[in-house]
Structures are given as structure tokens and as C-alpha cells.
Amino acid sequence: MNNNRTTVTARFAPETRFTLTTATNAPFRTNLETEFERLKNRLLAETLDEAEQPELNAPLRRAANDAAALAWVTRYPLLVFPALFEEKTVAAVQQIARQARIYANSREIIAA
């Protein structure tokens, strides 16, 4: 057993207090959402104005929403969205053209 007992008195320094100021380096998310929606709506409107086929309306809107969803999870959605939207738009137009070819071919086969 340990019979050596040493008493240690605790000495505390005076209490230190400080205030913490918050600094925001990044813009508020609401501002970013507003800018993002403006960009999305502007690019979608331009693309819909250029579209000659009315059946492209729904696929282009879907492409804009898909691109927005993908861009929003990135670090810089405002920079990424235009490229993603362009890729999705090209894919939508190609899909509509492919469906039109298949429809035309199937009508020829049925008519024969």
C-alpha cells in the first residue's frame, strides 16, 4: 500500500472570456438559390425559344431539372450548371430524334 500522501492545492488563473464574431466568407444559400434559379430559367427560356419542335418542351424542362439537381450537389453549381444543361439538352434532342425514327420505321413496317 502507498502510505505517502501529498496534498496538492489547486490554483486557478482568473477566468478568461472572449467574444467570437462570425464572419461569412460565402454568400448566403438563399442568394445562391436565387441566382441559380435565374440562371436555370434564363438558359431554359433561350433553349425553348430555339427549339423548333413542340415535343421538345417536356424533355428540355426535364433536362434542365436533371442538370440543376446534379449541379446543386457540386461545390460550384453556378459554374457547373451550364455545361451539364448543354449535355442533357443534346441527349434529350438525340433521344427525341431516335424516337421519331423508330416511330417512322414502325409505321412503315405496319403499313407493309
Question: Left if phi > 0, otherwise alpha if psi is -120 to 50, otherwise beta: which for 18?
Answer: beta
pTM here is: 0.66
12 pLDDT tier (thresholds 50, 70, 90): confident
Tens-digit pLDDT profile for residues 43-74: 999 999 998 888 899 999 999 999 999 999 99
Cβ contact 44:86 at 8 Å: no
